[in-house]
Structure 1
Amino acid sequence: MNLSRRAVLGAALGSLAATAGGCARPVDPATGGGSATKTLNIGLIWTRTGDALTVAESTRYEQGLRIGLSWVTNRINKVGVRTIKTVKVDDKGDPAVAAAAAEDLVRRGCHVLVGGFTTPVALRLARVASSRKVLFIPSMATADELTGINRYTFRDGPSTTQLLMAARAYLKPGGRLAVLAADQATAVKAAAVLGAATTIVAPASTKDFAAVGKRIKAARAGQIYVDWPVAAPRLWEAIPAGVEPITVLGARATWPSYGAAAGSLRFVTAYADAATTNMATQTLKGSVPNRRLDTGHAEGFTASQMIVRAFQLGPQKADDMIPALEGLEFGGIKTGLSIRPGDHLLLNPLWGGHLTWTGASGAITAVTDRAFLPPETTPPL
């Protein structure tokens, strides 16, 4: 099969071959490493019941994955003569359900697992991948604990630290920063990376947002970094006037919850619609509802590129897939991607911007006004 330029969309395949050549030998491209009757199985463990936002995110990720697999394989969904098959299972947002599903998928011949749309689920799946020796690509889970957790786990998006390092660009020199988070560990981590003077912890179940607003005001900060796991309009309304909020942009469905704060909000994100324009972007936009791309689309597309490359060099077992991905340099929806061999962190560009209202209906739109390249956001190994 001729994967041509779409196989990795800009990858330096020559240098990659030099990097991985001593560890794994490419399979016969005419056979895909086996007979045509043996499929190359991907186990997608996604959320179809439970939290509505997680369901929506997993839907967009599946779209990016499916469209990406078609694009990377020149629309035939094959590596050599072997067909790529995606087997989907609902994890119901439950780590135990996800782990049981992963075990079943491995027994059914899946050498690659993707999924884990929350940190607890992703961490549980990473343990299954390590014990069963299958490749695992966590989806939309940014927890730093996943970086380097084992040799079988590879990221397809940024970590929390990478996002925080991008957020530092919005800090005002000499200004006072506070961090608001739903738990102490998150608050401490963000404060350490951002250099915040004050941390404010309010559980996600908080209802008394007026009290939260008073605590923000008492901090006498000019800026506040908000790490909030749920869409809570009253939280944003409680931020005192004159305090500039900074956050990681949530999925499109959460944007209305920012309310009046949207006017002063500065965000960082792994991807936002129109952040890039290329052939991959055009293909993806033309195949998703309303032609609007979100973070999930970009990460699903990236995962598809990684999976096809893994199948090219190691269709039979994950231990052969690992050297195919370590050190891989490629591009797609997002350009300039590479996988750090030491911990499988994905070095990838991030974006910053603001929200605005457009059109007669006053629709909220994310406008990216700056890009952060990997040297600016990559933590030391």
Structure 2
Amino acid sequence: MNRVRMTSVLAAVTLSLAACGSPQAATGGGSGPLEVGIVYSQSGPLATYGAQYAEGFKAGLAHATGGTGRIGDRAVEVTWVDDAGDPVKAVSAAKDLIGKGYRVLGGSTSSGVALQVAPLAAENRVLFVSGPAATDGLTGLNRYTFRSGRQSYQDVLTARTFLGDGKKVLVFAPDSAFGKSNVDAVTAVLGGAGATVTDIAVPANVTDFTPFASQIKAAAPDLVFVAWAGATAGAMWQALDQQGVLASTKVVTGLDIRASWAGFGAGGTKLNLLAHYFDGAADNAAYQALKAAVPGGRTDLFHPDGFVAAQMIVHALQSSPDDVDKMVTALEGYGFDSVKGRLTVRAEDHALLQPMFQAKLTGADAVTATGTVSADDAAPPAAAMKG
């Protein structure tokens, strides 16, 4: 396990083997360093997301501590652990950190990981600030669990803003749990607003999307919500463009990391994009601090999630460095300015209320904002706190 001690933004990164010790030793007995454990995808299928989160966290920690990496006279020391996107590895790492006395955990690039780590927070009364994991299931899961990114419901609420007066919505998604979850969310949000929602579920082994594109065009929906991921995305978008779907109706999908944009192909500029974040979506002091810290100065989709996590953790530690229940209370209702704008932790269920964005591709590597959805308009329904 590598331990990265960030005693200041100018300090050199020091790698050492993490030593086993008692909770008293790990936390310094109330006077030593403040230990934070980050369990995230350093490797595995979501490693790119994890790298952005980590860069954002380091920038956010520097920003929130005024460049010192300290809270009062105590250094914030961050231990980074790779879960490779595997819930079993993540749980093992979280248990190890908790056993060494860590009171604050973050990370969870994957939703599957976050849902397994979060119960440990409640069982052991440690603060857990999840990262890019978008599952709605984290909201209200327990009082010790928070999130630093958006959740899927906020994506769908952003999609609703594209519908206008339309009433016919078609969800185009793979025939999988991922696809079904998107169908259910769109049905709840857009169907609940009076739209008629249908769907086309595409078998996972399909490589020829022409027949499905023809089905979409024949259905003549007012809006097509596309939920897709994976190696066949390029072929899927090409078929939708060639069959005239992108030109004949409003097609809405989510904007992923910059490296994926080329996969939209020639029809990418015809798409209506809902966006959690993209470089330049907002401009403020936090964005400028992040931009200055990110290699090349080009921020991406999950940089803000790391930045926000650091801001939340610093605020929690400032409120009470050694009392987790007081940290939780301090975060509930906490409002602060971050990369995307003004964010608020909803007290009753810990949803992170935040603005979302509408966007258009203007080239293979260029995107522009076409609108902002306010934090109130993108707010998911309140969930009952479970534990």
TM range (shorter): 0.7 to 0.9
Q: Displacement of 1:236 after TM fit?
A: 1.1
**Counterpart residue number, 1:46:** 40
Q: Displacement of 1:71 after TM fit?
A: 1.2
**Runs of 5+ unmatched residues, structure 1:** 1-31, 358-362
The 2-side partners of 1:151 and 1:364 are apart by: 41
Q: Structure 2 vs 1, CA of residues 203 and 121 (structure 1 numbering), >3 Å: closer, same or farther?
A: farther
- State whether structure 2 residue 296 is matched by structure 1 residue 290: yes
Q: Which has the higher contact order (CA 8 A, sep 6+)?
A: 1
The 2-side partners of 1:151 and 1:114 are apart by: 15
**Counterpart residue number, 1:309:** 315
**Counterpart residue number, 1:214:** 214
Q: Deviations over 1:145-195 (max 9, x none)?
A: 111011111121221111211111111423532112233232122232123
Q: Deviations over 1:202-238 (max 9, x none)?
A: 2555434234323323433243111123352111112
The 1-side partners of 2:315 and 2:166 are apart by: 47
Q: How does 1:321-360 map to 2 (within 5 A)?
A: 321-357=327-363
The 2-side partners of 1:33 and 1:322 are apart by: 20
**Counterpart residue number, 1:258:** 264
> 1:285 is paired with a residue of what secondary structure?
helix
> 1:238 is paired with a residue of what secondary structure?
helix
**Counterpart residue number, 1:234:** 235
**Counterpart residue number, 2:180:** 184
Residue 198 of structure 2 aligns to which amino acid in structure 1?
T
- State whether structure 2 residue 186 is matched by structure 1 residue 160: no
Q: Structure 2 vs 1, CA of residues 237 and 39 (structure 1 numbering), >3 Å: closer, same or farther?
A: same
Q: Deviations over 1:312-343 (max 9, x none)?
A: 12221322210010011110212221111100
- Percent identical among aligned pairs is 37
> 2:97 is paired with a residue of what secondary structure?
helix
- State whether structure 2 residue 194 is matched by structure 1 residue 200: no
Specify which of 252, 255, 266 is matched with residue 249 of structure 1. 255
The 2-side partners of 1:309 and 1:185 are apart by: 34
The 2-side partners of 1:335 and 1:215 are apart by: 40
Q: Using structure 2 for the length normalisation, give the TM-score.
A: 0.84
The 2-side partners of 1:112 and 1:254 are apart by: 33
User: Greater CA deviation, 319-328 or 229-238?
Assistant: 229-238
The 1-side partners of 2:180 and 2:206 are apart by: 14
Q: Structure 2 vs 1, CA of residues 204 and 325 (structure 1 numbering), >3 Å: closer, same or farther?
A: farther
> 1:224 is paired with a residue of what secondary structure?
strand
The 2-side partners of 1:338 and 1:370 are apart by: 20
- State whether structure 2 residue 105 is matched by structure 1 residue 113: yes
Q: Structure 2 vs 1, CA of residues 33 and 265 (structure 1 numbering), >3 Å: closer, same or farther?
A: farther
> 1:154 is paired with a residue of what secondary structure?
strand
- State whether structure 2 residue 212 is matched by structure 1 residue 223: no
**Counterpart residue number, 2:63:** 71
- Is the CA contact (8 Å cut-off) linking 2:346 and 2:353 kept in structure 1? yes
> 2:302 is paired with a residue of what secondary structure?
helix
The 2-side partners of 1:307 and 1:44 are apart by: 11
Runs of 4+ in 1 over 6 A off after TM superposition: none
Q: Deviations over 1:328-363 (max 9, x none)?
A: 111021222111110000111111111111xxxxx4
> 1:377 is paired with a residue of what secondary structure?
coil
| CA RMSD after TM alignment | 2.0
Q: Displacement of 1:64 after TM fit?
A: 0.6
- Is the CA contact (8 Å cut-off) linking 1:33 and 1:315 kept in structure 2? no
**Counterpart residue number, 2:143:** 151
**Runs of 5+ unmatched residues, structure 2:** 1-27, 383-387
Q: Displacement of 1:78 after TM fit?
A: 0.6
- Is the CA contact (8 Å cut-off) linking 2:277 and 2:357 kept in structure 1? yes
Residue 202 of structure 2 aligns to which amino acid in structure 1?
A
Q: Structure 2 vs 1, CA of residues 205 and 297 (structure 1 numbering), >3 Å: closer, same or farther?
A: farther
- Is the CA contact (8 Å cut-off) linking 1:179 and 1:191 kept in structure 2? no
